[in-house]
Chains A and B, each alone.
Chain A
C-alpha cells in the first residue's frame, strides 16, 4: 500500500546551503533522514537541537522555511528540485546554533520568567521585547513575497462529510455512499489508509483494495492533503488544502480522526534520534529509509512489537526492546526483551548515543548503547474537532481517553477516536456509523448517544505518560520548551487549574496545539495535584486545530469586492474625474480643480451625480402616520408638491441619518437618504412596517431604479427651461417645490432643494436615462459655462452653508438639539421614535453644541483636531476647509455649550500650538438664503 517507490530519477534541493539528493516521491524530511541530516531545527526557547519525531505533520520539530515560506512541515512536503530549505530559529545552523548557550542558563529561565524578571524598570521592556523577538520564535515572514500564494476558496455542500481517511473513515464513506449519500472524505495525508499505509501487519486481505474502491466510488469525493482546522456551528467545516480554503457544509459529519501516537516524557526526550514508533514505521515504509545505527524500542503494547519486527525485517539492527509490562510474553527472535522496565533518559548531546533504563518504580537498570530510541507507548484520541463541534466528552479510564457522552446535532464518530483500536472492530463500527449517517440525511439532525468499546488494546492497563525520574530536562511540550519541572513550578505558584496552567506555562499553545503534549500535560498536572485525569479535565479546544496561513483565510481579497457604479460612471472616468470610494460606490471626487468647480457652482451652474442617494417610494393611506412616527418633525401637514428636510433618530434620540421627504400625491411620498445610510434606513423602515401589517403602505426601495443629479447655481433655472416645455418659473417652481417634469424627453421627479446653497434642482430619472439627461443638461448649460463638480467641491460648498453630514459631523452622541437643528424636533407630537429621550434632553441644559467657526487666517485644520478651553479639551473639529466666500479657514466643531455663542473665542490644537477660532452662528455664505430661494 506504499504511495511511491524510488526510481532512478534524481531530485536535488538545498538544505542550509548543502545539496541533498532525494528519491522521487520522497518528502524533504525523508530525503534528509536518508542523507544523515538529523538535526532539523532549534527549539523555541533553549535552542536545543531537534529532529524528526512524528513524521506525520503534527509535531513542531521539522518546521522549516521552504522557498521563503516559514513553518512548512517538511515531513509532509514532497521534495522538488531547486527547493531552498532552511532551518529556523538557529544561527548559523541548527547543528552549531550559538544561541544554544540558553540551554545552559535554563535554570535562570523558569516558566514565565519574563513576567518575573523583565517588568522592572519599565523603560527596559521595549528593549527586552526586541531582544526576545530576535532570539525566539518560529521563522520569519518574507516581507516581499510573503502572502504571494494563489489563494483560492471553494464552497462544498454535501450530505455526509467524513473527517479522516483511515480504515474507519474509508469504511464509513463506503457505507454512507452505498446508503445513497453524497460523501466528502477529507484526509490530511497524501494517500488514504491511515495506519494501514505504514503498518502492513494491520492490513487484512479484504482491505487492500479499500483506498482504490473509495477513490473510485462516484458518490465519494476524496480530498487528500487537507486538514480540517475548525468545526463550526451547524456542521460547517473549515478546511485547508495547501493554499486553498475549503468551506464545507454537511448535513451529517462523521469524525474518524483516529488517534495520534504520543511521546513519552523522560530526560532528554527531545534529542534527535528519539522517534515515535509510527514515525519510524513511516520512514521505513513510506520514505524507504533505513536507520544508521541500532534502534531501541520502548513499548507497553502490541504496536511496539509490530514496529520492532518491521524494522528488523527492513534490515535495521535492534539494540533491544523495553516492555514496561513485567508479565508480557511476546518475543522477537534474536532481540533482548527488557520486561518490567522503562526508559528514564536518552544520553547524547546532539543525537542519541544510548538510553538509561529503570524499573517502573525507578530502580536503575543501567544504560544501553543505541543510536535511535523508538517509543510506542500509547495513543491520544484526536478528539479536538468533536469538542469544537459542541459534543460533550468524558474521560474513560478503561480506554485511557475521552469519549463522547453526547453528540452535537448531526455529528458521529467512529474508529480509534472512539477507542476502537482493533482494526476489525473499528471497521465494523465504521460501516454501521456510515450507514446510519447516510440514513439520517434529510431528517432534522438530532443529538444521539453511542456505544463504546470496553477496553482499548492500544495502551497498557496502566498507561505510561512520564518516566520514573526527577531529572530536569524532561520535555512535556516540545513546541514551547516546557518541562515537567516547569509544569510543577507553575502549579506550585497557584496555576493548578489545567486552563490557567496552560496560559501561564504556555504548554500546548504552540504549533502542535496539544497533539503531542496535551495528554502528558494533563497527566503531569493530575499527578502534581494528586487528582485523577478525569478530575483534571481538558483545556477547551478552539479553532484552528492546525495552523492556517493568514493568506488562506484572506483569499484574494480585492478582486472579489463588490463595486457599484452609477449610470454616469463611464462619463466621469472619460472626463478625467478622480473616483473616490463611498461604501461600495465609486463617486467623482474632482474633475478639474476644486476652485474651478466651486466657481462654476457659485457664479454660473454646476452638475453633480447624486445617484448613490438612498431612494424610497411609499404609497398608501397610512404613509403619513408612518412618517409621523419615524421622524421627529411633522409630515402629515406637508402639502402635495412640497419637499421637507427630515432627520431620523433612534429611541435614544441620537441622529441616525438625514434626507428629504417629498409629497408627490396625497398618498404618495418620495424619500431620500444619505449614500452611506441607504441600507440602514431601508432596514429601519422595514422593521417598523413589519410590526404594522394592518397599515395600508406599499414600500419600495427605488435606490438603484433612479439615477439622480443636482443642477445648482444661479443659471440653473435658465438651463432647465431649455430642456422642458413646462413652466419652471420661481412662481410655479419655488424653493422646496417637488413634482414631476419632463426633462430632455424623460419623465423626472424634481426637488427644488439646495444642499450647496444655490438655486438648485435635484433631478431623479430612471437609471437607464441617467447618462442621457446628464449629457443633455451639460449640453444645454454649455452656453452658461456649466461644469460638472465632484464630492470635494460639494463638501466645501455645503460647509459654507453650515450643512452637516451625518456620520461625519455627528457621532453616536449627537442629538438634533445639540447638532443645532432643534427646530426639527416637534415634542408636541404625542409619539415618535426618540421622543422620550429628546424630551429629556430638552429639559436639561445642553452639554455640547455643533457650531460653525472661522479662523483669522487660512491655517489648515484637520478633522479631529482638539477644541480647547484653557488646557481642557472640550470638543473636536469635524469638518474644515478654506472658504473662498469668507477668505479664511472655516469649519464645524463640537464645543462645550458655554463656548457656543456667536463670536465666542476658543482654541484649536494644531500640532504644537493653539490657533484661535471664533464661533459663527449664521451660515458663512448667503446667511439669509436669498440665493437658495431665488
Chain B
C-alpha cells in the first residue's frame, strides 16, 4: 500500500492517508427484486485491472471522491470529485 493517490482537494498523497470505499456500484431501487439486493449487498466483482472506486481522504480533508485504479498494479489513473446525476452507490 505504498502507492499514491491524488486527492482532488489536497493533491498527491500516500495511500495510507486514505480509506478504500469499494468499487462503485448502482444501488437498486427500494422495490427491486430481492435477488438484485442480495447481489448489491453481498457480491463484489473482485476486478483484476481497471476499476472505478470510492476513496475517502480520512487523514486530512475527509472528502469522498472517485478514482480509477488498476487493481493489479495499484496504479491510479485518475481521480475526480463526484458529479450530480451519477448513480455510483453510497
Contact = CB atoms under 8 A, between A and B. Distances in A.
Interface of A: 232-234, 236, 249, 390, 409, 651-652, 679, 682-683, 686-688, 690-691, 693-694, 701, 830-831, 835-837, 840
B26 to A, nearest CB: 12
Nearest to A831: B30
A683 B62 contact: yes
Contacts of B84: 693-694
B84 to A, nearest CB: 5
24 contacts: A233-B3, A236-B14, A390-B73, A651-B41, A652-B41, A652-B42, A683-B62, A683-B64, A686-B62, A687-B56, A688-B90, A690-B64, A690-B65, A690-B82, A690-B90, A691-B82, A691-B86, A691-B89, A691-B90, A693-B82, A693-B84, A701-B62, A830-B30, A836-B34
Interface in B13-50: 14-15, 19, 21, 28, 30, 34, 37, 40-42
Given A683-B56, A690-B63, A690-B90, A835 B2 contact: no
Contacts of A690: 63-65, 82, 90
A206 B15 CA distance: 45
B75 interface: yes
A426 B65 CA distance: 46
A876 B86 CA distance: 44
Nearest to A692: B84
A683 B58 contact: yes
Interface string B66-90: 0000000111000000101010111
A233 B28 CA distance: 36
Contacts of B2: 232-234, 236
Contacts of B34: 836, 840
A409 B4 CA distance: 13
Complex A-B, nearest 8 residue pairs according to Cβ-Cβ distance, in ascending order = A232-B2, A233-B3, A236-B2, A831-B30, A690-B64, A836-B37, A234-B4, A691-B90
Contacts of A686: 56, 62-64
B79 to A, nearest CB: 14
Contacts of B74: 233-234
Contacts of B82: 690-691, 693
Contacts of A830: 30
A435 B40 CA distance: 52
Contacts of B89: 691
Given A233-B2, A687-B21, A691-B90, A409 B58 contact: no
B90 to A, nearest CB: 5
Given A694-B84, A830-B30, A687 B40 contact: no
B22 to A, nearest CB: 10
A167 B70 CA distance: 37
Given A233-B2, A690-B90, 4 more contacts: A233-B3, A687-B21, A691-B86, A836-B37
A687 B3 contact: no
Q: Place the interface of chain B in its size category.
A: 20 to 34
B90 A682 contact: no
Contacts of B37: 836-837
B10 to A, nearest CB: 15
Interface of B: 1-4, 14-15, 19, 21, 28, 30, 34, 37, 40-42, 54, 56, 58, 62-65, 73-75, 82, 84, 86, 88-90
Nearest to B31: A830
A701 B62 CA distance: 11
A409 B73 CA distance: 11
B64 A835 contact: no
Contact of B58 (A232, A236, A679, A837): A679
Contacts of A840: 34
Given A694-B84, A836-B34, A837-B41, A687 B54 contact: yes
B40 A651 contact: yes
A688 to B, nearest CB: 7
A679 B4 CA distance: 23
Contacts of B15: 233
Contacts of A836: 28, 30, 34, 37, 41
Contacts of A683: 19, 56, 58, 62, 64
A655 to B, nearest CB: 15
Nearest to B30: A831
A234 B4 CA distance: 6
Nearest to B81: A690
A332 B90 CA distance: 78
B51 to A, nearest CB: 16
Contacts of B73: 233, 390
A682 B38 CA distance: 26
B69 to A, nearest CB: 11
A409 B75 contact: yes
Nearest to B15: A233
A443 to B, nearest CB: 14
A722 to B, nearest CB: 41
Nearest to B54: A687
A282 to B, nearest CB: 34
Contacts of B62: 682-683, 686, 701
A290 to B, nearest CB: 47
B88 A691 contact: yes
B1, B41, B56, B74 pick with most chain A CB within 10 angstroms: B41
A111 B22 CA distance: 45
A683 B60 CA distance: 12
A693 B82 CA distance: 9
A393 to B, nearest CB: 16
A236 B13 CA distance: 12
Contacts of B40: 651
Nearest to B5: A234
A651 B90 CA distance: 10
A837 B64 CA distance: 25
B15 to A, nearest CB: 8
A831 B56 CA distance: 25
A398 B82 CA distance: 53
Contacts of B65: 690
A384 B86 CA distance: 44
A548 to B, nearest CB: 15
Contacts of B1: 233
